[in-house]
Amino acid sequence: MKNILIIGAQGQIGSELTTELRKKYGHKHVICSDVRMPSHEVLNDLSPFERLDVTNVERIAQVVKKYKIDTIYHLPAILSAVAEEKPQIAWNIGINGLYNVLEVARESNCAVFFPSSIGAFGPTTPPDNTPQDVIQRPDTMYGVTKVAGELLCDYYHKRFGVDTRGVRFPGIISYVTLPGGGTTDYAVEIFYEAIKHQKYHCPLKAGTYLDMMYMPDALNAAISIMEADPSRLVHRNGFNVTAMSFEPETIAAEIRKHIPGFKMEYHNDPIRQAIADTWPNSMDDSCAREEWSWNPEFNLEKMTIDMLEKVAVKLK
Ligand code: SER
């Protein structure tokens, strides 16, 4: 029986991954942790819950021992735009936090999931149909931590046999927990604004193509890669995964099919635009498809219908 620890359980991915993993492995086999103590109400839902700061290696080791953890989903991160404001903190959490988790995993024989990102690519990466194995020279702190994280995970597997696995997530669109401080956040905000005000001020320029994915597919990717038959894996970390690629006009047009009066204006955010300009327009995820049968379910059309419905209920 698996005993799973989710680190960053209150984040955009963690909050929904908790529910999915508990459905699969049973409530008490999935332990939640986060640097922030949840509110009383949320604590009841997340329990068993441990307050845990990834920069404290002893605390990680203590929680892993207490619950006999064998699999860690390591999700804490400072997203790309905030990481440019606070690069030192982004490094500390992104790199030192991951290093601590890998050290505990080595000592306690845990498997580790590490989410890398489209941010692991940079301005010299070919932007269209970006291959799995290609030049990665990111020029953002977020990207530096993600590419170094991929390499560190590969190293711990090769050198110490730690079962590290991971994917390069695109922008993740969801309605349960808001992302915070990412370059791709606009693709979430647009739904809230479309329903509330029929109007959105987009921080990215028209024509800025980026890969995106709806949360159910992201959860499926994180769980499937950890369950994949290791004999099929040629790669282990940083698998390209994508479900759709669009630019702001494309998603606005899709929303307009349901909210005909929806208007979009552009208020360029130079930090987010500069970051987005160095990321791929679209990734090639054929290695994930071949090595662990990755296959997303939601395209833009299907996701838009579901998001509009769920966000409307939430805002009532
Ligand atoms: N969603 C992330 C960001 O925009 C990308 O991985 O920072």
Ligand 1 centroid to residue 59 C-alpha, Å? 28
Ligand 1 centroid to residue 139 C-alpha, Å? 14
Q: Could you tell me which residues come within 8 angstroms of residue 136 by beta carbon, excluding any fewer than 6 positions away?
A: 120, 121, 122, 125, 143, 147
CA dihedral 296, 299, 300, 301 (to 10 degrees): -150
From the list 232, 146, 248, the residue with the least C-alpha distance to 191 is: 248
Report d(CA 37, CA 302) in Å as an integer: 35
Residues with CB under 6 A from ligand 1: 79-80, 117-119, 142, 169, 171, 182-184
Which pLDDT score is estimated for 72? 98
Which pLDDT score is estimated for 40? 87
Ligand 1 centroid to residue 166 C-alpha, Å? 15
Which pLDDT score is estimated for 22? 97
Q: Write out the chain's pLDDT in tens, 316 residues.
A: 799 999 999 999 999 999 999 999 999 999 999 999 998 888 888 899 999 999 999 999 999 999 999 999 999 999 999 999 999 999 999 999 999 999 999 999 999 999 999 999 999 999 999 999 999 999 999 999 999 999 999 999 999 999 999 999 999 999 999 998 999 999 999 999 999 999 999 999 999 999 999 999 999 999 999 999 999 999 999 999 999 999 999 999 999 999 999 999 999 999 999 999 999 999 999 999 999 999 999 999 999 999 999 999 999 9
Q: Could you tell me which residues come within 8 angstroms of residue 313 by beta carbon, excluding any fewer than 6 positions away?
A: none
Asked if 79 contacts 120 with a C-beta cutoff of 8 angstroms, the reply is no
Count Cβ atoms below 10 Å from residue 302 Cβ, excluding itself.
13
What is the distance between the terminal CA atoms of the chain, rounded to a whole angstrom?
Answer: 41
Asked if 225 contacts 165 with a C-beta cutoff of 8 angstroms, the reply is yes
Which pLDDT score is estimated for 44? 85
From the list 168, 68, 62, 152, the residue with the least C-alpha distance to 109 is: 68
- Which residues have a catalytic role annotated? 142
Bridge partner residues of 213 (DSSP): 172
Q: Which atom of ligand 1 is nearest to the CA of 184?
A: 4
Which pLDDT score is estimated for 45? 84
Residue-range domains of the chain with CATH: 4-171+213-240 (3.40.50.720), 175-212+244-280+298-314 (3.90.25.10)
Ligand 1 mutation pick, 183, 277, 283, max ligand atoms within 8 A of CB: 183
